[in-house]
Every structure is written in structure tokens, then in C-alpha cells.
Structure 1
């Protein structure tokens, strides 16, 4: 069906409300906008279903949410589980609560028990609650760190991890089979509280989760000894405010200062361009506050509180924003070293990163005798590997992270967890402060020992159908006619993850990975959640200056390849 036919069906169909029809009629003279809204259905990428809020098949709205949920309900019913249940949570974004209730209604009307969080909660607590309630699945309404016009829908399976193959494909087939919205009950609204199978989650689940997070503390005595450590925290208008502050307070941190302008939930995210802790601009208010307080550490979590960004003090030289890889380096070493020091590091311990994560933490892990596994981009693949490795028996997961500010320790959550990470990062800062060191000092020492590693990400934004086609052409050209050298360095290996078979079994994915003769590397992949082509670059050298020079040469030449390929 072409986009025009879909558009007309929505305007004329009996299943769509007047507000939806009015919104679509208002764009009747904008053919490009109509095409973008209807040329495809939203699909599951690395972060699930995600898109701009609005009417249309390629938008986030109550109809796409209800359709996806009905597909999920049908899929769960086909698994023949006795009394299946689903946990639902949401963040602070526009329509998140409404979409969560919409999903709850569809599930309840399909005969499936629902555990619905009373108010916004962090995504990792949803993952935990799925495992805690022994539910068949979980749903969280969030668009993570995307701009305010976005929302999304992530599905978790019974292990607490986001869905992966083959469940993802089987679920999508069920969703695609739903072509008539009239078969979806509760689409026009229903009273959720009239269903006996609706159960609200609140303080009781919060306490169980927070207690589990606190159990991961490695050096509680360090917190007591560094009572003067000052932390500035911002939830960036999201769901992290209560859980992060609670866990830090309960574990003993007494000098935690929250940015007041960003404390309350607000889906418009009025104080930032993007509610993304990867962006240095999102720290502007927190950094100003930290300078006034002379704070040691600044933390920022994204709206659904699964990612955390970090700024550290550089003695008298101001502050440094850590990259996701640098935080992973510090956190990984702190966890490995603390476990070893306490005699808790098992021979069969393993960590997991992704193929586009920097390679320095791998070096560190191996120096502790820890096995390192690398998965595709997306924390759902890290969660999948945790399950598979533990199912084999005897193996012990100690740490997982990806360069995009996602970290996990412990085995009770199966997604990146900024509540856990915020606690461990704060404890780590206290640990080093007691040694007369900042986190910057600790990072410098690690570079001196393991070599100076540097990573960069180039994001090429290409929107709409035309943009998607350009991304496809670039990938095809780089796949079929890759360069022989970059910046004077020969390409020694090309991994095409559509066909590559590595040490662990990975799903096929549209990723190209190039290894250069000196060990430098770059990788290319279309984003699964945004209209972007992402290019990841990593280098290592004996000094910061040498690494920076090498990186500049690589970036310049890779940008040239991209321009030619378009």
C-alpha cells in the first residue's frame, strides 16, 4: 500500500478519532510531510519502537502503541503460558503516561495481567520488575535521550532483557498481521481500574530494587571516610531524580546537590536542547552549580535513567567531561580491582562490551584474567550474552558497558542502569579521594599503564526516505569497494557483520568494521532509532598528543570517503 492510500485511510477511517483526522487534514498540502508520516511503519531497532510524536504509521501515537501492544498480546498468548503478565513503566516524556495506559488497556482486554507503575520510573527498574514478578514481558514508554518531539516503546522479555532474535522477528510478524484497528479492544479508551487483573506497582517494588542496588557497593567504608565529597546531580527533567538521590543518600553520601531547574519531570526539557548526557551542553547548569560549590563530581542521567554522563574535577585546572569510554575504563578497573582485592574475583568472571566500544577496558580486563566478549551495538545484546553465558553454567558476569554512556554491574537487571552506575561512580570518586586523587588522576594513571586510547563518533544526519536511501548507498559502496588504506595506514581487516563469524555467535547486522595495520579501527552502522549513519573511530598511542594527531588524520580522511560515497 502506498503512502497516499494509507494517509486517506486514516482520514476517512472509522477507527481514528477527530483530533487525529484534524491533524492530518492540516498537512494535506504538504506532500513531503504526508510521505514521511506514511511511507513505512515504525520498526524495532536497537532501542525498540521510536519516532516523532504525531499522527501516521511512521509516528508515535496511540494507534501505533495499541497495534504494537496487540501484537505483543497475541504473541504472548501463543506461548501458552499459564496466567501471563506484563509490567509497564514510563518516563517523563509527552504522552508517556497516556501511552502506558493505552498499552495496559489493550493487554487487559486481551486477558493478560498487568503490573503498572503508578508514576514514572527508570527503565532499569522495569527490567528488574519483569524478573521480580516473573512476568512474560515488559513495556517501557520512552525515547531515551532523543529530542522532546520523540517518544518510544521498548519491549522486554521474561529474562528482563530487551527482545532479540528470534522473539523480535516473531513479534514483528504478529504486529504486521494486525491490519484492522477495529480488532483492538480498548483503543477508544476504557477504565483500567475496572479490570481485576490490573496491579499497581510503587514503593514496595522501589525498596526491593534500591536494596539490590545498594548490595553492589564495593567499598562502603570509602564513603564514610570521604564525607566531604561533593556531588552535583541533574536528572535532566527525567525519571532519575528520586531513585538516584535515594540510593546515594541511603548509602551514605551527604553532600548531593540537585540542579533545581532540572529537578522536576518535564517532557519539554526546557533547559536543554537535547536531554542527552552525551552532550556537553546538557551539563551547563550543573557545571555552573559545581563551580560555585567546588564540587568533586557531576552526574547527569537521561530521561529514562539508563544512561549517565560524568564530569570530574581536574584539581585547579577546572573540570573535564568524560567520554562514555573513559567512564567505562574507570568503572571497569575499579570493579575488577575491588573484587580482586576482596578475593571475590572468580576465575570464570567475564565482562561484555560492544564491537564499537573502545578497546582499553578490554586490555584492563584481560590483565585481571577476565574474559571479554564483544556484542553488536545495543545493550539488549549485552543482556542476551549475560543470559547465554550464565545459562552455560559457572560463569560470573562482573561488568558490561557500551560507549554511549550505558553501564551495568550485578545480575538482577538486564539493561544499562544509571542508578547502579551513579552509585558506583560516586563510590569510586570517594575511594580515590581518600587516596588524595581525583577521577582524572586515576584515569591518567591508567593511560600511563595501558597506553593512551582515544575514540570519536561522527554522526551523519540524513532524514526521511531520501536520507535512508543515501545511507544505504554509502554502506553499499563501503561494503563493495572499501578503501585499501586510510591516512597512510593499510586496512588489514574488514569485518562485514552481515556475514562475519567471530568468537561468539552474533545476529547478522548492517555494520562494517575496518581494522588498520597499527590496531586503529573505525566502524560504520546506520542507527536503529534515528535518521543517522554513525561512524565510530578508535586509536591508541604512547602519548595523548600522538593519539590526537592520529585521530585528526583519520577523521579528515573518513569524512572525505563519506562525501564521495554520497
Structure 2
């Protein structure tokens, strides 16, 4: 068992520790419960001097009792560190290159920006770029070195790669250091969260779409994962000697709030797609069970910018990577796709449009709304307000069920709610109420593929509203009109729900 000290993608007040198992994945729910039991039932007193000692050496200094300052970042690039950890780790990531010839030919043409968000990403990312021959890199220097105070961000702002405000800080810092002209040259501006297990991707918007999205756009994780999955399966389908060429063995897992765009891609290539609860620990449990059936995992996807690909750890020839999300792995896949786009003289957006226009896949409008929009529910009063909102949502669930039974469904924005589902694990029943919907409540809009899901965040006191709506009859001629329509449609849904 390993321990990682981090605030992850939360604001600086959330610094804490993550537990990591020997496979690289989070502990299962059963192990977490056992650890919690040990912690809360341990009567041993921890000596105060272990918590408040003054510690100084070449690399670290404790400042008061709260913050640790790292004095010498050369530790991260020393020969011992590189030999013992970084080198084999990056070699493993580089082994997951599906077309090495493509990388050799086009990686030097990529122009990419990168920000570490004051986290741990810079050293591994810079070495990964070198190994993949990506030299046209513009680093956001004010965020290069780790700083637990996250100085370029407001005190309560989360550093979530899927958050539009976080992306705005990255774009501003890039333009302040370089300029908007240099931004226009980028194929992508990307960033990892502070513990570097998630990746955000920003692209410049084609001029004919700027009236919809503005000059730049944060790609939704759903769209980035669609690019990843489509690229992997498209490549594997054309290489019969690949150990992953037997599509009957392949499967992906995704959290149930991740877009069904991935499901349609799986259906096109005839591989299995499994929905799981939100959180990589639960996705990892599904993967372990599928290994016993001799299945090979070709992707693990979370809507909150988490991606992994594990293969099958019970067979050395098909073992790929750890059972956990990994921002550096995500970045290596992004580089591969940028090379592919270069080879076809396409932008990432044009490549995405080609996926949307595939009749077997289609275009899914998705959106996520945070409550509160900024910060979190803080203090007893606001937490009670959060609980009240969830109780109102559950009452709506009960009312909707009654209306459906009487063939008089409730309507949202002119569409009938045809079905409703509650997802509950029972883990929080003792804290709230029996049947508490900790995994959320989903309202289906006249179709099993169009729905709205409301759930509590599992990592901070927030509520999240997820909307998915499949846009039909999309063509090359009307794609801009449809995109504009979907933006208006999603805004209407979210405004209605907020009210």
C-alpha cells in the first residue's frame, strides 16, 4: 500500500492523502471500509511531536506546522530518481504507442502548450515530450513548479481539468506569457491537475464556429475520450497481428455519467461497453472481474477527465498499464492523435466532426452544471441546504414515478419524463436517510439515451447536474446549425433545473 499526499483536483484546503494499492489502483470499497474501521477504532494517541516537529534538510523545510516547502527540485531529475522510477515508468507509457511510425514522422510537427497547474506534472511531462520527439512545446512558466498554495488561483477555486474557469486561468496565463498570436499556432493547450492523474485539453475554435463557442474551447472529457477510443479501435482493427486484434476479448468500462458516445463507438466496432459507478476504484473492480474471463481492457473512462488502459494483468503479453487514471498516459494518447490529425491535415475539432458524422456513432450533446457554481457548500447551514436540494430531487423522483403510472408524465422543456431511476449504495443511509441517492437520480426524457442525472460529488461538497441529448439527422451541411441548437438546448435544460 502506498500513500500520495495531494489536494488532487480540489482547492488548496483539501490537501490530504490518497491510498494506492500495489496494482496502482485505489483500494476497493471493502478495503477502504477496513482501513476506516482501523482508523476510527484505534485508541493509540499519536505523539504531538510527530505532527509538529521542525524539519530541515537539503530538500525540504517545514514552514510553521502547515506547509512544506521543497527547496531543491533537482531531486526530481537526479540520476537515482530517474534510474529507479522515472525511466521504467515512461518506458511503459511509451510502449502503449499504437503506431510508432506515425509518431516518428509527425511528432516534430506538433505545437503544444502545457501547464502543470502548480503541481507535479512538469518533470515527467518534459521527459515524455523528449522521448516522443515533441520539441515545439510552450510551457506556462508561472505554474511549472509545485506549490501547494496554487497562487494563480482564487483560494476556493478548484483545479479541475474539466472546469471552464480552470481552463480560463490557463489560457490567460499562456497569453500573458506569450500572446494570442502564439496561442493561434498551437495544436492544443493541455494541462494536468496537481497530482497529474487527469488531463484537460483546450483547442482554438475554427473561425466558422466562433459565434457558438468563442475563440477557444475546453474539450469535454466525453469528446477527448471519444477521440481516444475511436483512434485505438480504428488502429487495432487494421492490424491483425496486434495482441488486441480479437475484438471479442476487448472491453471498456466507463462511469455511468460518461457519454453514450463511447457506447456507440463500441457498438460500431462490436466490443463490450460496461457502465460502472463514478470513481476509478469501482471501475477497477469491474476490470479485475473481467480479467477472470480472459478479457482485455482497452479503456477506463470518467467524465471528470480520468482515463486509464490496463489490458489484462494476468497475461504478460496483454498487460498495458496500471489500474488507475493517469494524466501522462492521457497526454501520450493525445500526442498520438495529434500526429494522426497532422497526417490527415485535420484539426482535433475536424477529427471530432468526422466521428459525429458517422451514422453508426452520431452526435451527443452533453453538459455538466455545478451547484454551487463557484466554490463548495461550506459550513453547517450550506450543507443542510445541499441536503434539502437532494431531498427535493428525491421527492421529484417519487412524484415522477406516480405521474408515469397514471400516464400523465411530468414535462421538462416540452419533453415528457418517461422513466426515472435512483442509484443508491446504502453507504450514506445512516448519515442521511434510508435509500439516500448517493450515486444520483436519473430522469429519462422520452428516450433511454436522453437523460438528466443529478448527484452529489464524491470528492467535495457539491452537486452536479449531467445532461445528455442525442442530436439526430446531423450532416456536413447542418453540423454548425445543430451545434448551435444543442448549446441553446442544454442551456435551457440547465436553467430550468437550476430554477
TM-score where L is the length of structure 1: 0.68
- 1:111-156 deviation digits (Å, cap 9, x = unpaired): xxxxxxxxxxxxxxxxxxxxxxxxxx12111111222233021112
Q: Return the alpha-carbon distance in structure 2 between the equivalents of residues 384 and 528 of structure 1.
A: 17
1:210 aligns with 2:90: yes
- 1:363-400 deviation digits (Å, cap 9, x = unpaired): 1112111111111111222222222211x231000011
User: Retained in 2: the 8 A contact 1:272–1:281?
Assistant: no
The alpha-carbon distance between structure 1 residues 231 and 329, as it changes in their structure 2 partners (threshold 3 A), is same
Q: Return the alpha-carbon distance in structure 2 between the equivalents of residues 552 and 261 of structure 1.
A: 34
List runs of 5+ in structure 2 lacking aligned partners. 58-77, 209-214, 311-319, 401-409, 427-435, 473-481
The alpha-carbon distance between structure 1 residues 187 and 254, as it changes in their structure 2 partners (threshold 3 A), is closer
1:341 aligns with 2:238: yes
Secondary structure of 1:407's match? strand
1:299 to 190, 198, 205: 190
Aligned to 2:295: 395
1:459 to 363, 366, 370: 370
TM-score where L is the length of structure 2: 0.76
1:473 to 388, 404, 417: 388
The alpha-carbon distance between structure 1 residues 313 and 219, as it changes in their structure 2 partners (threshold 3 A), is farther
Task: State the 1:441 CA deviation.
Answer: 0.4
The alpha-carbon distance between structure 1 residues 188 and 537, as it changes in their structure 2 partners (threshold 3 A), is same
Q: Runs (4+) of structure 1 moved beyond 6 Å?
A: 190-193
Aligned to 1:549: 488
Q: Return the alpha-carbon distance in structure 1 between the equivalents of residues 325 and 383 of structure 2.
A: 28
Matches within 5 A, 1:268-307: 268-273=149-154, 274=157, 275-278=159-162, 279-284=166-171, 285-286=173-174, 289=178, 291-293=180-182, 294-307=185-198
Q: CA RMSD in A?
A: 2.6
Aligned to 2:4: 140
Matches within 5 A, 1:155-166: 155-166=19-30
User: Retained in 1: the 8 A contact 2:452–2:465?
Assistant: yes
User: Retained in 2: the 8 A contact 1:290–1:298?
Assistant: no
Task: State the 1:173 CA deviation.
Answer: 1.1
Q: Return the alpha-carbon distance in structure 2 between the equivalents of residues 290 and 536 of structure 1.
A: 35
Aligned to 1:110: none
- 1:233-284 deviation digits (Å, cap 9, x = unpaired): 1111211101112112102212122122221222222223443322321322
Q: Return the alpha-carbon distance in structure 2 between the equivalents of residues 161 and 454 of structure 1.
A: 31
User: Retained in 2: the 8 A contact 1:287–1:298?
Assistant: no
Q: Return the alpha-carbon distance in structure 1 between the equivalents of residues 97 and 180 of structure 2.
A: 28
Aligned to 2:220: 323
The alpha-carbon distance between structure 1 residues 446 and 264, as it changes in their structure 2 partners (threshold 3 A), is same
Q: Return the alpha-carbon distance in structure 1 between the equivalents of residues 393 and 272 of structure 2.
A: 32
Matches within 5 A, 1:9-28: none
User: Retained in 2: the 8 A contact 1:230–1:295?
Assistant: yes
1:176 aligns with 2:91: no
Task: State the 1:532 CA deviation.
Answer: 0.9
Secondary structure of 1:280's match? helix
Matches within 5 A, 1:338-417: 338-343=235-240, 344=242, 345-346=245-246, 347-390=248-291, 392-410=292-310, 411-417=320-326
- 1:279-302 deviation digits (Å, cap 9, x = unpaired): 321322235647433121211111
List runs of 5+ in structure 1 lacking aligned partners. 1-136, 194-199, 501-506, 561-566
Q: Return the alpha-carbon distance in structure 2 between the equivalents of residues 394 and 510 of structure 1.
A: 29
Task: State the 1:468 CA deviation.
Answer: 2.2
1:558 aligns with 2:497: yes
Q: Return the alpha-carbon distance in structure 2 between the equivalents of residues 399 and 265 of structure 1.
A: 29
Q: Return the alpha-carbon distance in structure 1 between the equivalents of residues 497 and 7 of structure 2.
A: 30
Q: Return the alpha-carbon distance in structure 2 between the equivalents of residues 191 and 266 of structure 1.
A: 18
